[in-house]
């Protein structure tokens, strides 16, 4: 099976349609040589919209699209005929897509609700035909307006998956196995590092009305901030989570042990984003069913307790301790009901937005 590629950043240009020109045609009727103006208006150019679609999970479909254009309006014609408006283009993107103006870096749209639709390039207005310019003094104006050009700009799209809880851990500690045990997500699980190459989301249902979204991301290792392993670019997918689940375990590598791993993870997170490093967290020792893990638990627990960290333990294989970890996550979520806002650029207010809603016809 070929793995579906995960594309989370795309740059493209959007070009709205131009407005059609107004017509300067005169009425020509058999017995009325100067029948007056009869030029209709040009049609409005189509706009380019982006819409959040919950069925999509990557920006892959847009990867090779350099330009997205909407149709131009038709020109107005004689006999009072108005030009037809250009069709809009609606580009579907996954929920969690943030759209930046590529030139200024400004965040111009944040698609976080299913079905949310934003206009990113507005179609040009159609020019008025000469039928609008007749006055008692000038009964046969040959004047008509040109259509206005449609908006265009370069955009950078960035997908940040929206999850409540993000799992952070070294490769192979069992992050994907954990999400498999608690949700319907079925990421690949294997006994080698970097099995997970793209983030996975799972919905954890706890009773009829309680659920939260968990994100499993690729493993983080020492130096991730400098690009080691898969680097830390996937951390942006947990930037807007409310709570982190740190998973540590005993690793065959003698250089590594849970406390050292925890400190390394913390350091790498801090280098990526202070706010993420300060996020509330639950720390759990995974693979509790393994004898060496169970043996190490009491000592580790004391060691972490002396640093003010409460250590939980679980096994995704036997489900022992899993419910307690989920309870702890839920308790933290309840304490932090609001999602953090993106750190780079503040959300634009309506007045900041260069393009308002599309004009009514």
Give dist(CA 198, CA 94) in Å, integer: 15
Residue 55 is classified by DSSP as T
Note whether 122 binds ligand GTP by CB under 6 A. no
Residues 6-45 that bind Mg ion (CB under 5 A): none
Q: Which is nearer to Mg ion, 81 or 195 (CB)?
A: 195
Give dist(CA 158, CA 344) in Å, integer: 12
Is 307 exposed, middle or buried (CB count within 10 Å of its CB: 0-12, 13-18, 19+)?
exposed
CB 91 within 8 A of CB 51: yes
Q: Which is nearer to Mg ion, 168 or 283 (CB)?
A: 168
The 296-335 contact track toward ligand GTP, x by CB under 6 A, reads -------------------xxx------------------
Position among 98, 130, 172, 183 found at the interface with ligand GTP (CB under 6 A): 172
Residues with Cβ within 8 Å of residue 182, at least 6 apart in sequence: 202, 204, 214, 322, 326
Note whether 193 binds ligand GTP by CB under 6 A. yes
Residue 289 is classified by DSSP as T
Distances (CA, A) of 5 to 104, 159, 167, 253: 29, 14, 21, 30
Position among 44, 153, 175, 198 found at the interface with ligand GTP (CB under 6 A): 175
Residues 167-196 that bind Mg ion (CB under 5 A): 175-176, 195-196
Give least dist CB 172 to Mg ion, A. Answer: 8
Give least dist CB 277 to ligand GTP, A. Answer: 20
Q: Which is nearer to Mg ion, 34 or 197 (CB)?
A: 197
The 210-229 contact track toward ligand GTP, x by CB under 6 A, reads --------xx----------
**3-state SS assignment for residue 288:** coil
Distances (CA, A) of 13 to 27, 125, 153, 154: 42, 20, 6, 4
Give least dist CB 200 to Mg ion, A. Answer: 8
Residue 245 structure tokens: 């689940």
The 259-288 contact track toward ligand GTP, x by CB under 6 A, reads ---------------------------xx-
Question: Which residues are near ligand GTP by CB under 6 A?
Answer: 169, 171-177, 189-191, 193-196, 218-219, 286-287, 289-290, 315-317
What is the binding site for Mg ion (CB under 5 A)? 175-176, 195-196
């Amino acid at each position: 099976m070929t793995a579906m590629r995960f594309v989370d950043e795309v740059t493209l240009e959007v070009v709205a349609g131009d407005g059609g020109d107004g017509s300067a045609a005169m009425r020509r009727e058999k017995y009325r040589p100067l029948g007056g103006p009869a030029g209709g208006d040009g049609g409005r150019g189509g706009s380019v919209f982006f819409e959040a679609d919950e069925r999509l999970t990557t920006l892959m479909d847009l990867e090779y699209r350099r330009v997205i254009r909407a149709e131009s309006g038709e020109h107005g014609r004689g006999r009072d005929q108005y030009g037809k408006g250009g069709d809009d283009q609606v580009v579907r993107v996954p929920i969690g897509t943030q759209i930046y103006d590529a030139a200024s870096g400004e965040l111009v749209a944040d698609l976080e609700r299913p079905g949310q639709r934003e206009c990113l390039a507005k179609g040009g207005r159609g020019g008025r035909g000469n039928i609008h310019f007749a006055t008692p003094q000038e009964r046969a104006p040959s004047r008509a307006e040109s259509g206005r050009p449609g908006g265009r700009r370069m955009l950078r799209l960035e997908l940040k998956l929206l999850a409540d809880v993000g799992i952070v851990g070294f490769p192979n500690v069992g992050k994907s196995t954990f999400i498999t045990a608690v949700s319907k997500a079925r990421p690949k699980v294997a006994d080698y590092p970097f099995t997970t190459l793209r983030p996975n989301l799972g919905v954890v249902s706890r009773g009829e009305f309680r659920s939260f979204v968990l994100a499993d991301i690729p493993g983080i290792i020492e130096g991730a901030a400098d690009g080691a392993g898969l680097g830390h670019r996937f951390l942006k997918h947990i930037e807007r989570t409310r709570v982190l689940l740190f998973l540590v375990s005993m690793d065959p590598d003698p250089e590594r042990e849970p406390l050292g791993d925890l400190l390394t993870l913390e350091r790498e997170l801090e280098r990526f984003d202070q706010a993420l490093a300060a996020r509330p967290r639950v720390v759990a020792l995974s693979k509790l069913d393994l004898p060496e893990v169970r043996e190490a638990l009491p000592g580790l627990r004391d060691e972490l307790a002396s640093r003010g960290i409460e250590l939980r333990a679980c096994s995704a294989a036997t489900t022992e301790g899993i419910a307690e970890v989920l309870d702890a996550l839920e308790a933290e979520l309840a304490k932090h009901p609001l999602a953090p806002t993106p750190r780079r650029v503040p959300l634009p207010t309506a007045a900041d937005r260069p393009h308002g809603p599309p004009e009514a016809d």
